[in-house]
Amino acid sequence: MRRIAVLTSGGDSPGMNPAIRAVTRTALHSGCEVYGVFRGYAGLIQNDMRRLEYKDVGGIIQRGGTMLLTARSPEFMTPSGREKALENLRWHGIDGLVVIGGDGSLRGATKLEEEHDFPTICLPGTIDNDIYGTDMTIGADTALNTVLEAIDKIKDTASSHQRAFIIETMGRRSGYLALMGGLAGGAEAILIPEIPDTTIEEVVEVIRRSFRKGKTNCVIVVAEGAPLNAQAIQDHINAMVGEDTTFNLNFRTRATILGHIQRGGSPSAFDRTLATRLGCAAVEMLLCNKHGGLVGMQSRKITLTPYAEVLAHPKVLDAKLYELSKILDRY
Ligand code: ADP
Ligand code: F6P
């Protein structure tokens, strides 16, 4: 393999830049040329790519986002879109592609392998930590720290006003950020899509119990994919205040939707080192003609898991951690 390309796709995540840096410099070190593709699969279709040299990826290791930009490309979902992408790869004489992105991006890479026998290899880049074949995705740790910082800050004001706060995290269908953020932040309740059985009545009871026990605040963390969202919980509780005399809460609840701040920021030390190690390994594997899978870190070992296996298995959250959070907040 003499020439490879790298792109970032889907939702950006902190750590994509260190991954691009590691891919580029490892390839150059091995005597291989590197092309950076801008705006993910959309740029591949529009032939928006250029050669990357050593210095092009300098000064980015500490920067959030992605210097290659990212996009969601509906055209790449069609066979004709992928055909165009492939023509451009071939026109540049590119023999292999490194894709950094989430599970959707991995599906796209799978199609290039399956339909066109084109060598691709994926790095897990998403804050959602929802990809099988790696213990952690690149960006999840930084996002988790952002969530935790937000919880800590909200607790300060919640305590001062003796209020209950509902905090909504991102994660699409994954409850990872909510579960781990809630656990580390000492939330009174955590609602996640993987355990969808918490009712609004139970949430109300958690809040009542907290204040009955003399707590000065109550924080409920909700994942965006959970059946009850933060706004719905806030509206329900605020409608009760003043109307239900058994509900002796003289405060109103506030919902905070953390949103896209979770995707930004300088990557944590964990994400930088994970991205660096996985980026380097992806190139080494590609150059040894190993491809068609996700490069991940499992039990501290770098692994290559075939796409079919990654796509066949949902990432499973540790249910024990959920139980633990309930035990710790039940005093
Ligand atoms: P993420 O990679 O963060 O999960 P998306 O799910 O939006 O983000 O996927 C990113 C891009 O990957 C999509 O815009 C599309 O171009 C491509 N993609 C996703 N799913 C498929 C698929 N089944 N077939 C081909 N391409 C896909
Ligand atoms: O996959 C990353 C993610 O941030 C999810 O957590 C969230 O559901 C989604 O992307 C939001 O996407 P957008 O930025 O397109 O609104």
| Residue 264 pLDDT > 90 | yes
199: Cβ contacts below 8 Å, ≥ 6 apart: none
**181 and 147 in contact (C-beta within 8 Å)?**
yes
| Residue 265 pLDDT > 90 | yes
**221 and 151 in contact (C-beta within 8 Å)?**
yes
- Would you state the pLDDT for residue 329? 74
In the reported structure, the alpha carbon of residue 129 is separated from the centroid of ligand 2 by a whole-number distance in angstroms of 12
Average pLDDT score, the chain: 95
**Residue nearest ligand 2's atom 7 by CA:** 172
Q: Is the CB of 170 under 6 A from ligand 2?
A: yes
pLDDT tens sequence across 145-177 = 999 999 999 999 998 888 899 999 999 999 999
- Would you state the pLDDT for residue 328? 87
**62 and 15 in contact (C-beta within 8 Å)?**
no
Q: Report how far residue 125's alpha carbon sits from residue 131's, in angstroms, rounded to the nearest whole number.
A: 9
Q: Of ligand 2's atoms, which has the minimum distance to the CA of residue 225?
A: 8
**Whose CA is closest to 284, among 118, 98, 105?**
98
- Would you state the pLDDT for residue 274? 98
Q: Is the CB of 173 under 6 A from ligand 1?
A: no
Q: Is the CB of 108 under 6 A from ligand 1?
A: yes
Of the listed ranges 186-195, 227-236, 264-273, 320-329, the one predicted with least confidence: 320-329
Q: Of ligand 1's atoms, which has the minimum distance to the CA of residue 72?
A: 14
Query: How deeply is 3 buried, as exposed, middle or buried, from its count of CB atoms within 10 A (0-12, 13-18, 19+)?
Result: middle
**Active-site annotation holds for 152:** no
Helices (H), the chain: 16-29, 40-45, 79-91, 103-116, 140-161, 176-185, 200-212, 230-240, 269-287, 307-312, 319-328
Q: Is the CB of 296 under 6 A from ligand 2?
A: no
- Reported as half-sphere exposure (CB side, CA atoms, 13 A), residue 87 has a value of 10
Q: Report how far residue 40's alpha carbon sits from residue 70's, in angstroms, rounded to the nearest whole number.
A: 5
| Domains of the chain as residue ranges with CATH | 3-139+267-312 (3.40.50.450), 141-263 (3.40.50.460)
Q: Report how far residue 71's alpha carbon sits from residue 144's, in angstroms, rounded to the nearest whole number.
A: 23
Q: Report how far residue 200's alpha carbon sits from residue 162's, in angstroms, rounded to the nearest whole number.
A: 21
- Would you state the pLDDT for residue 244? 58
Of the listed ranges 238-242, 257-261, 321-325, the one predicted with least confidence: 238-242
**Residue nearest ligand 1's atom 2 by CA:** 102
pTM of the full structure:
0.96
In the reported structure, the alpha carbon of residue 108 is separated from the centroid of ligand 1 by a whole-number distance in angstroms of 6
| Residue 75 pLDDT > 90 | yes
| Residue 331 pLDDT > 70 | no
| Residue 216 pLDDT > 90 | no
Q: Report how far residue 21's alpha carbon sits from residue 98's, in angstroms, rounded to the nearest whole number.
A: 12
Q: Is the CB of 172 under 6 A from ligand 2?
A: yes
Tokens coding 113: 């392998």
**Residue nearest ligand 1's atom 8 by CA:** 10
- Would you state the pLDDT for residue 291? 98
pLDDT tens sequence across 105-134 = 999 999 999 999 999 999 999 999 999 999
**299 and 129 in contact (C-beta within 8 Å)?**
no
pLDDT tens sequence across 224-254 = 999 999 999 999 988 887 665 555 555 678 9
In the reported structure, the alpha carbon of residue 11 is separated from the centroid of ligand 2 by a whole-number distance in angstroms of 6
Q: Is the CB of 101 under 6 A from ligand 1?
A: yes
**Residue nearest ligand 2's atom 6 by CA:** 171
